[in-house]
Amino acid sequence: MVNDQHMSEWQQVEALLMQYFEGLHNADIKLLERIFDADARLYAPGVRRSKAQWLELVVSRPVPRELGHPFDYQILAIELCGEQAMAKVSCPLLGRQFIDYLGLLKEQGTWRIVAKQYADNPFTSYHDKE
């Protein structure tokens, strides 16, 4: 959750995405809970999950930081249009290379992720970087 009047909208979205990366890397479900909207949905090919279902998976899987995995997450693109944004991010996670598309809305002065689409990147392998 990012709400800082001294930051530009772009900077606020970037800060939220960095929190997203930190939450994934550290399996910090409290942080992820705060930055995702209560009604957020997560989609992958053949998969539909509520935020609660996804957070249960995050807390039950190995923690990338504890495994010594590098923090190689990247913002690939941000499209900002008023109080809505779309972000494309690269998430090397637990031996896989995901591309996430995150839908964000700014409501009541605060940016939150309202939807997440994710899938393995078909063009690269995380192991290619190791």
CA distance 109 to 54: 26
pTM of the shown model: 0.88
Residue spans of beta strands (DSSP E) within the chain? 36-44, 47-50, 74-81, 84-93, 96-107, 110-120
CA distance 11 to 43: 26
* Topology (CATH level 3) of domain 9-129: Nuclear Transport Factor 2; Chain: A, (3.10.450)
Instruction: Show the tokens assigned to 109.
Output: 């002065």
Nearest by Cα to 100 from 126, 113, 118: 118
Q: What is the pLDDT of residue 78?
A: 97
Q: Which residue has the tokens 């409290």?
A: 30
What's the pLDDT tens digit per position in 44-70?
A: 999 999 999 999 999 999 999 999 999
Phi/psi for 59 (5° steps) reads -75, -20
Q: Where are the domains of the chain?
A: 9-129
Q: What is the pLDDT of residue 91?
A: 95
